[in-house]
Each structure stands twice: as C-alpha cells, then as structure tokens.
Amino acid sequence: MQIVLFTIFGLLAVAAALNMLLQRHPINSALSLVVVMMSLAVLYWSLGAEFLAAAQVIVYAGAIMVLFIFVVMLLNAGEETRTRGSRIAAIAGFPGGAAIFCLLTFVFLKYRTQLGTTQISGMLAGTDSNLTRIAHSLFTTLLLPFEVTSILILIAILGAVVLARKEL
Amino acid sequence: MVPTAYYLVLGAVLFCIGIASFLIRRNIITIFMSIELMLNAVNLTFVAFAHMWGQVSGQIFVFFVMVVAAAEAAVGLAIIIALFRVRQTLNVDQVNLLKN
C-alpha cells in the first residue's frame, strides 16, 4: 500500500513542481504549488507524521498560498516575459544545481541498504499516533523555542503591516 | 515497504526543481514561491529521517520550519507590495537599482 501511495503522490508532486516551473502565469504556478503541498501532506501521513500532514494542509496550502494568491491578485500580476536571465545563473547556477542533484542522488542511492526501508506507520497502520510525544517534547524541553516563535510571528505581523503601508 | 532513500531522492528532485525555478523565472512572486518549494523539499527529508530513527525531533524541526516560513511569507510579500508601489513592476530584471 505504501509503495502505491508513494508512487502516485510522489509523481504528482514532481509533475506539479515541473508545471510550476513551466507555467508563465503566476496564478497557475501558485495553484501547482498547492498540489505539491497537498501531495507532500499525504506522504507525511504515510510516514506517520499526522500532525505535520494537518499542519501542512492548514499552514502551507491554507494560509501561505492564500497569501500568495491574494498578492498576485492585488498586484494584478500578468504573464511574465521570458528573458535570457543573468549570465552568472547560466554559468554557475544550473551546473551547480545539477551537481547538487547528482551528488545527493548518488549518496542516497549508494547507501540505500543502510538507510533501511520505511513501514507504513501511525494512524494508517492502526497504531497510536506520535502526537502525544510531539506535544510532550514541545511543551517541556522545547518550551522556550516554542514561545519565542510566537514572538517571531508577532514581529512578522508588525513588520508586514509597517512595510505594506501606503507611505513608506 | 519503500526504501527511505526514495523519499530522500524525491526531496532532492523537488529541491532541484526549486533551484531551477528560482534561476529561470523572472517574476518576483514566482521566485518567492520556488523558495517555498525548496523549504518543502527539505521538510520531506526531515520527516523521512525522523521516521527512519523513530524519533520526533525531526518532526518538531519541521514544525519550526513551517512557523518561520509563515513569518517569512508575510514579511516577504509585504516587501513585494512595497516594491511594486515604488517601481510598478514585478520583473526582477528591472529592479536593479538601490536608489530611485
């Protein structure tokens, strides 16, 4: 069952990411990115991370992408004009990206047996969710970082309001 | 029964599509979206490793990455709106001067 889930949603994520790369209109790219995020939520679910799957749908696909689409519509962004791009990107960027991809894939596939296999786990396997472990860790040992993120969010809200004011 | 390496390779594929999109696209909003795609690819890697070790630390790290990504998206899009007010364009090729 897990190989089926992985194949379907992995291919869907890669196809949507490529579609995001190839589309010219920002709204099409944004909607493709939503598909990528939903597919990743299913993959998190199959890896036993139910909390992250829900947070992925709510935070990423729900909040962040709505913000993106809102800005695209607010600024009336049309189709982008393709230019040749910068020369440094052609010389260093694409070979660098290809090198990173080849290196990562080589290392991961070389140590494939040591990395082991994943079993379907969590709620899908009928066992308990690890949500209590996450919550326990988050509210005891990691309480200070957790509270600091709330201050970070507050500062981000204030910064967004200040930056988006009419008179800058 | 999927090898953990496949999840990691999928993360690498998505990350490199994000890099290519970052370099090819000229619209600043789409460039920002490709950064989000790269963050998502790294999150998938974190979750795969957390599953491999049977610990929740990786998942908590992904939670913090999501929080920071939300804050970053809010501030970044506000900067894009301020930039559009000044320059009337979203094309990064035309935003090449620090001073107006």
The model's confidence at residue A168, banded by pLDDT at 50, 70 and 90, is low
Residue range A128-138: mean pLDDT, rounded: 86
pLDDT for the residue numbered B97 = 78
Residue B100 placed within a domain: no
Query: Do the chains contact at B1 and A105, CB–CB below 8 Å?
Result: no
Burial class (CB in 10 A: 0-12, 13-18, 19+), B8: buried
- Give the CATH fold of the A2-129 domain: Four Helix Bundle (Hemerythrin (Met), subunit A) (1.20.120)
- What does the DSSP 8-state code read for residue B97? -
- DSSP E strands: which ranges in chain A? 117-118
The per-residue pLDDT for range B20-64, each reduced to its tens digit, is 999 888 889 999 999 999 999 999 999 999 988 888 889 999 999
Confidence check: pLDDT of B14 > 70: yes
When CB atoms are compared, the residue of B8, B26, B71 closest to A81 is: B26
Cβ contact A122:B51 at 8 Å:
no
Residue to test with chain B: of A11, A24, A29, most B Cβ within 10 A: A29
B68 and A CB contact within 8 Å? yes
Integer distance in angstroms from the first to the last C-alpha of chain B? 58
Residue B47 placed within a domain: yes
Residue A154 CB partners (closer than 8 Å, separation 6+): none
Structure tokens at B10: 């999928």
Residues in B touching A74 (Cβ below 8 Å): 81
Q: What is the spatial distance between Cα B51 and Cα B15, in angstroms, rounded to a whole number?
A: 20
- What is the ipTM for the molecules in this complex? 0.91
Interface of B with A in 70-89 (CB under 8 A): 70-75, 77-82, 84-86
When CB atoms are compared, the residue of B36, B90, B91 closest to A33 is: B36
Q: What is the spatial distance between Cα A133 and Cα B56, in angstroms, rounded to a whole number?
A: 7
Question: Mapping DSSP to helix (H, G, I), strand (E, B) and coil, where does residue A45 land?
Answer: helix
pLDDT for the residue numbered A143 = 93
The model's confidence at residue A10, banded by pLDDT at 50, 70 and 90, is very high
Domain that holds residue B41: 4-94
Query: Do the chains contact at B47 and A145, CB–CB below 8 Å?
Result: no
The per-residue pLDDT for range A23-82, each reduced to its tens digit, is 889 999 999 999 999 999 999 998 888 899 999 999 998 899 999 999 999 888 777 777
Query: Do the chains contact at B25 and A80, CB–CB below 8 Å?
Result: yes
Q: What is the spatial distance between Cα B76 and Cα B81, in angstroms, rounded to a whole number?
A: 9
Q: B41: domain CATH number? A: 1.10.287.3510
Residue range B77-82: mean pLDDT, rounded: 91
B31 and A CB contact within 8 Å? no
Residue B13 placed within a domain: yes
Q: From the CA of A126, how many Å to the nearest CA of chain B?
A: 16
Cβ contact A47:A123 at 8 Å:
no
Residue range A139-164: mean pLDDT, rounded: 92
Beta bridge partners of A117: B3
Smallest CA–CA distance from A159 into chain B, residue: B75
Q: What is the spatial distance between Cα A13 and Cα A66, in angstroms, rounded to a whole number?
A: 19
The per-residue pLDDT for range A89-129, each reduced to its tens digit, is 778 888 888 999 999 999 998 988 888 888 777 667 777 77
Max Cα-Cα span within chain A = 59
